[in-house]
Amino acid sequence: MNTKFRKFTKILAFLIVIAMVVTSLTFLITPVAFGAEKENTATTNTATKEERLEILSKYIDYIIDNYKDKISSNTLLDGAFKGVTEAMNDRFAEYYTTSEAAQEFKDAIENTTIGIGIVFDTEGDTCNVLSVFSDSPAEKAGLLAGDIITKIDGKSTAGLTTTELQALMKNGDIGTKVVLSIDRNGRAMNFTVIRGIIGEQAVKGGLCNADPSVGYIRITSIDSDSSEEFANEVSYLTKNGAKGFIIDLRDNGGGFTNRAVEIADRILKDGVITKYVTQGRIYYIAEATASQYMTEPVVVLVNENTASAAELLAGALHDNGCALVGCTTYGKGESQNVIGFADGTAAKISVQYFTTPNGDDIQEKGITPDYVIYNRLSEPVPEVVAAYEGFAPMSENEKPVVGSKGLNVYGAQQRLALLGYYKGKVDGTMTRETADAVKFFQKEAGLYSYGALDFTTMKMLDELTYDFVHKTSTEDLQFAKALELVQTKKASRK
């Protein structure tokens, strides 16, 4: 739920900055046209790839010979590779100038490296903590999923790449300290984390205290041996009396998609697991092999930090009959490959999308659970309570639709933003973006989903917002619902 508060606090204030860009040009034009001996090449950009690469090579040579300062060919070539990578407009793509940097990324997924024990993501200039490994240096220091890292050892995280952020947090010997400045629900906090070996077992399980006939398996990440760990946990819990299972994928930032497929294959008897899509076509469909599968009822827990390969697994189980409980997942339905080059450099690029078995797109949308339940915080956040008390009342006798204006729309936008459904302007105008947020809220709340602010929708929106702000609880409401569903499914099989 921290991410919901975070999204809200960002829209509480707007800062309008008017900036003038001052540049200096020397009006001296030197007639240099690399490759211009070919008709129209320089002006119409119709040269072949090979011809343009030859032009680029000559351009680099020209810069080395004529640039006002000394510059190496490696620096320019690194820039060219970075430019190609950035041209894809893929926020998960990255060019690594050294093989060590690429290996650090692989080690992070493998879960065996020196570090602090978090999964993070970047969105714009924001560094978001998606999950914190149990018993890790980060957990011991007090970090939580949903925190925003604003500074690392005093250095702002704004504008840094994932590689640069990762290096600042993990580069250092075991026992060295790194200070993280955190934004938690609008409150600035500092945490000193002591680096250590991160080699957490990604899959852990046990029998539920409330009902020992139900096995609980938490998967914190999907690394190279997660499928074997999962199989071991299922075998152990089944031998010890488990007749149903809760699989917890909350705060799981993902990992290897092929391992997620393997875990799904260990659960499902038959059916499609996922469909891989590249350049607009399905090129491979992964299906359950029935080599081993579970006969016990399974319920899956997800939240807004369930991402990537974990979403693949959640989608596979959901479309094959397993209930999902929690809140809409992160929405990363694509996977990356790391390509190593002969010169020691490397790049990470997105090579495919994956969909649910039914063909539903995950990218930027996530997966909406069958039972949408938000856990409450253990204590109120004063800033959020104060903001809520200043919300506009939705008391006008009208049902706003696209194009409408008024307090009903303004108040709805405020509440939708607080709950994380709306990211647009809070200005009292019912835009298409506002209507889409209303429609999504209606869908999750079990109402008729059509995007108009009828009286029932406004009443429920106000009630849920009030509960969200004021009614705190340490009870895991999502887990309680999952347990209830498993127990019901078990009972129906007797």
Distance (Å, whole) CA 322 – CA 30 = 68
Residues 6 or more apart whose CB falls under 8 angstroms from that of 260 comprise: 222, 254, 309, 310, 312, 313, 316
Phi and psi at 106, nearest 5°, equal: -65, -40
Is 332 part of the annotated catalytic residue set? Answer: yes
Check 4, 243, 275, 332 and give the catalytic one: 332
Residues 6 or more apart whose CB falls under 8 angstroms from that of 176 comprise: 194, 195
Check 319, 335, 348, 404 and give the catalytic one: 319
Residues 6 or more apart whose CB falls under 8 angstroms from that of 220 comprise: 131, 133, 134, 200, 202, 203, 204, 251, 252
Is 489 part of the annotated catalytic residue set? Answer: no
Distance (Å, whole) CA 233 – CA 263 = 12
Check 308, 335, 439, 481 and give the catalytic one: 308
Is 213 part of the annotated catalytic residue set? Answer: no
Distance (Å, whole) CA 251 – CA 39 = 57
Could you count the other beta carbons within 10 Å of the beta carbon of residue 44?
A: 8
Q: Give CB contacts under 8 A, 24+ apart, made by 385-390.
A: 385/469, 385/470, 387/8, 387/9, 387/12, 387/418, 388/418, 388/465, 388/466, 388/469
From the list 157, 158, 144, 159, the residue with the least C-alpha distance to 189 is 144
Q: Give CB contacts under 8 A, 24+ apart, made by 455-461.
A: 455/399, 458/394, 458/408, 458/411, 458/412, 461/394, 461/412, 461/415, 461/416
- The label of the residue with tokens 């010997």 reads 173
- Give catalytic residues, as residue numbers: 308, 319, 332
